[in-house]
Amino acid sequence: MIDKEMKIWRLLQVILYLSGILLLVLLFNDSLRFFPSLDDNFGRDAFWNILIFSAPFLFAVIPGVWRNICPLSTTSLMTRYFGVGKKIKQSKKQDELLFLISILLLYLIVPLRHVETSGFSVASGLVIIAIVAFIMGYFFQGKSGWCSRLCPVYPVERLYGSKPLITVTNAHCSSCENCTSPCPDSTVSDIHDVHHESRLSQFSNYILIGGFPGFVWGWFQVSDFSNRTEGWSHLGEVYAMPLLGLLVSIAVYWQLRQSFTKKDYSKISLVFAATAISCYYFYRIPAVLGFSGHTGVFGLDLSVYEHYQFMLQFVVTVFFFWWIVFRKKIISWEKRPKYKNC
Ligand code: SF4
C-alpha cells in the first residue's frame, strides 16, 4: 500500500521522467528539425542553460529531492522496481574503485562540452549514459552500481550536498537492503572527513575536493570554438586549462592541509566546495542572463541591468560560502527506510 507522500514522489518521478524524454526530443530536434518552428538551439538551451545551470544549486540545497526524482536514477533503478536484475553486492574495494572511476569520468566528460557539436550529439551522449545507468542498475544491488557510485554527477552531489536544507523520504528504497555502506543518502556526508578512510578513498576525495575548484576555473578559461567540429582537433587545449587548474588546486589543498591540523581538514574541504560552486555561478550567471555580450537563455538579454552583474555574482558567492561553510546544519539527504527483513 503506497502512502500519500509516496504517491506524490511517484508523480514527481513520472513528471521528471517525461520531462527528460521531452528534453531528449528537443535536443534531437535541434539537429533533425521535426518541429521546425522551434529555434535550432532550443533543446541545447534548455539542457545547458536551465537543467545544467540549476543542477549545482539543487545539489547544494535539496540533494535528496533531486536524487528522488532524477530521471537517470529512475532508469537505473527500473530493474529493481520490476524485481529483476542480478543484485550483485560489491566488495568495499570495488565500491571505492567505482567512486574513483566516477570522478575520472567527471573530469573526462565535462571538458567535452566545449566540443559538443549539436543537439544530436548531446542527446546521443545522454542516451549512452542512460543505457550504462540501466546496465549498472541491472547488475548491481540497489543504488550501488550507478546512483551512489558510477554516475559522474554523484561526486558533485557529495561535494556540494553536505548541508542540505531538508532530509526527505527516500522515494526509491521502500526498505534498505544495505546496498552501499555507508549509504550516502541516509548518512550525514563524510566527504569532508577524509582521514578515516582507505588510501584509495582518500586519493579519490583528494582529487575531487582539492581539484574541483581549479578544474571549474580552468574550464571557463577555454572558449567555445566558433565551429565546434574544429574543437575535436584541439582536444589538447580543451583539456589543458581544466587539468592545469585541477593540479594547481590540488597543490593548494595539499599545502593547506600541511599548514593546519586534522581538525581543520573538514573546514578546508568545505571552503573548496564553496569555491567550486561559486566559481561556476560567477561565470555562468552573466552568460545565462545575457550580460556582457552573451545571448542568454532563450535569447534573454538583460544587458540593461549589466551594472548589477558584479553585485549579483557577489551575493551568490556570499550565499554559497554561508550555505556550505558557515551554516551549522549537517543532516542526511534522505531518511533511511527500515531494513529489509526487519
Ligand atoms: S537506503 Fe539502503 S537500499 Fe537505499 S541506497 Fe541506501 S543503503 Fe542502498
Averaged pLDDT score across all residues of the chain: 93
The pTM score is 0.94
Please check whether residue 122 is in contact with residue 27, taking contact to mean a CB–CB distance below 8 angstroms: yes
pLDDT in tens, 76-131: 999 999 999 999 999 999 999 999 999 999 999 999 999 887 999 999 999 999 99
Residues of the chain with pLDDT > 70: what percent?
A: 96
Please check whether residue 23 is in contact with residue 48, taking contact to mean a CB–CB distance below 8 angstroms: no
Angle between helices 71-81 and 119-139 (to 10 degrees): 30
Atom from ligand 1 closest to the CA of residue 147: 5
- Among all chains, which residue has been given the C-alpha cell 545571448? 295
- Among all chains, which residue has been given the C-alpha cell 543505457? 131
Q: Is the pLDDT of residue 308 over 60?
A: yes
> How many Å lie between the centroid of ligand 1 and the Cα of residue 176?
5
Angle between helices 92-109 and 235-259 (to 10 degrees): 130
* DSSP labels, 81-111: HTT-S--BPPPHHHHHHHHHHHHHHHHHHGG
User: Best substitution site from 178, 335, 340 to test ligand 1's pocket, by max atoms within 8 Å of Cβ?
Assistant: 178
Q: Which amino acid is at 259?
A: S
- Among all chains, which residue has been given the C-alpha cell 535541434? 30
> How many Å lie between the centroid of ligand 1 and the Cα of residue 96?
16
pLDDT in tens, 52-82: 999 999 999 999 999 999 999 999 999 999 9
> How many Å lie between the centroid of ligand 1 and the Cα of residue 141?
9
Q: What is the mean pLDDT of residues 305-322?
A: 96
Q: What is the mean pLDDT of residues 149-173?
A: 97
Q: Which amino acid is at 322?
A: W
Tally of CB atoms within 10 A around 175: 12
Q: Is the pLDDT of residue 234 over 70?
A: yes
Backbone conformation region of residue 292, classed left if phi is above 0, alpha if psi is from -120 to 50, else beta:
left
> How many Å lie between the centroid of ligand 1 and the Cα of residue 161?
17
Distance CA 155, CA 42 (A): 29
For residue 195, the model assigns a pLDDT of 52
Omega before 182 within 30 of 0, i.e. cis? yes
Distance CA 297, CA 74 (A): 28
Distance CA 154, CA 191 (A): 12
